[in-house]
Amino acid sequence: MATLVQYNRPAFFSPLHTRPVVNRFYNTRPNGPAANVQETETGFSLALATPGLKREDFTVRLENAMLTISYQPEATEPKETFTRQEFGVNPFERSFQLPKNVDANAIMATYTDGILTVQLPKVAVKNEVKSISIS
């Protein structure tokens, strides 16, 4: 039942909640942005929520029908120190296996208002029927 609802940790301190072995079960994708995939008749639309970044920050790569979107920040010295820091931008890499009916030469990506959208147009898959002679 715990996998069907979001789990909120108790507000009181518990030594069990600070151990890495226990913490890894609470956040299944600690450094990946949320993604929405939508299929239409003409193609697929992949949207990643990545606020606070610039379009130049992303690397979008296609290799062997695997679409990989990644972000690696430049190493800089922190300008400010925080007593408590709960948000920030972490490096990430998300990969998506593309189906055979995606036209790899027509993939387009746009970045608007913190949403990286990748358009994956479909192409008709030809079911080639081949006659084989018997010798």
Per-residue pLDDT of the chain (135 residues; tens, 9 = 90+): 333 333 344 545 555 555 555 444 554 555 688 999 999 999 999 999 998 899 999 999 999 989 999 999 887 777 788 888 777 778 889 999 999 899 999 999 999 999 999 999 999 877 778 888 897
In the prediction, which pLDDT does 24 show? 47
Q: Please give the model's pTM, rounded to 2 decimal places.
A: 0.67
In the prediction, which pLDDT does 59 show? 94
How is domain 31-74+89-121 classified at the CATH fold level?
Immunoglobulin-like (2.60.40)
Instruction: Look up residue 62 and give its two tokens.
Output: 């296609």
In the prediction, which pLDDT does 135 show? 79
In the prediction, which pLDDT does 1 show? 37
Question: Where are the domains positioned within the chain?
Answer: 31-74+89-121
